[in-house]
Amino acid sequence: MEDIAVLAEDLWKSYNGLQVLAGVSFSVRRGSSVGIMGPNGCGKSTLLRIIAGVESYDRGRLVVNGVPALVPQETILLPWRTLRGNILLAARIRGVSRRDAEEMIKSAGRILGLEEYLDMYPREVSGGTARKAAILMMLILKPDILLLDEPFTGLDRESIRALQETIVRLQRAYKLTIITVSHMIDELREISEETLVMSHRPARIVRVLKPDRDL
């Protein structure tokens, strides 16, 4: 188990009698990058929230070795604060010192390509830059496992490519385990060592794709 970051065994989840997950099982190696894809509404985001610990599951077994941090699909940046202000506010709320936060902003901000945008407001930057700032807000927690929920939604092709390259650099720099949700295989092939394919709801894992074999 030492080399496993996330282990799910026969996870079930329902909302008000509607079955969403029906026996989901998979494992993610520590330090790897894994994609999760499937039809819209099949339960991909629910699964990420369960891994992050912000959502419960009905039955099954889940082991998470390390600190997870979830970057949701919806925007989490306050429009009246600069990118730096948003990141520092998140650090303060989570009890991270100003000094540690500034160090992370400097180091991760360089990798993310955010240095010239930190003192700008969300409305003044592109969607891709705003998404990178949201990722940096979570990196402040110094997580072991980074959970990205549809990070490429709404981005043009150039921005998608830039964010893919950034995700790869972050994983290498911080030795992160990264789990990325998307409904498009093309968005995952450049960043994932393998992709878990979920079925329609009630969802389970029906296939595991390897880039060098299936993509």
Every domain of the chain and the residues it spans: 1-67+145-156+177-215
CA angle 173, 27, 213 (to 5 degrees): 80
Tens-digit pLDDT profile for residues 137-162: 999 989 999 999 999 988 889 989 99
Alpha carbon distance 39, 203 (integer Å)? 10
Residue whose C-alpha is closest to residue 42's, from 202, 183, 209, 208: 202
End-to-end CA, the chain: 28
* Mean of the per-residue pLDDT values of the chain: 92
Other CB atoms within a 10 A radius of the CB of residue 131 amount to 26
SS3 179: strand
Question: Does CATH place domain 1-67+145-156+177-215 in 3.30.479.20?
Answer: no
Other CB atoms within a 10 A radius of the CB of residue 212 amount to 7
Residue whose C-alpha is closest to residue 1's, from 62, 44, 45: 62
| Tokens encoding 127 | 């969607």
Alpha carbon distance 131, 71 (integer Å)? 9
SS3 29: strand
Backbone φ and ψ for 47, nearest 5 degrees, come out as -60, -40
What is this structure's pTM?
0.93
Tens-digit pLDDT profile for residues 12-56: 999 988 999 999 999 999 999 999 999 988 999 999 999 999 999
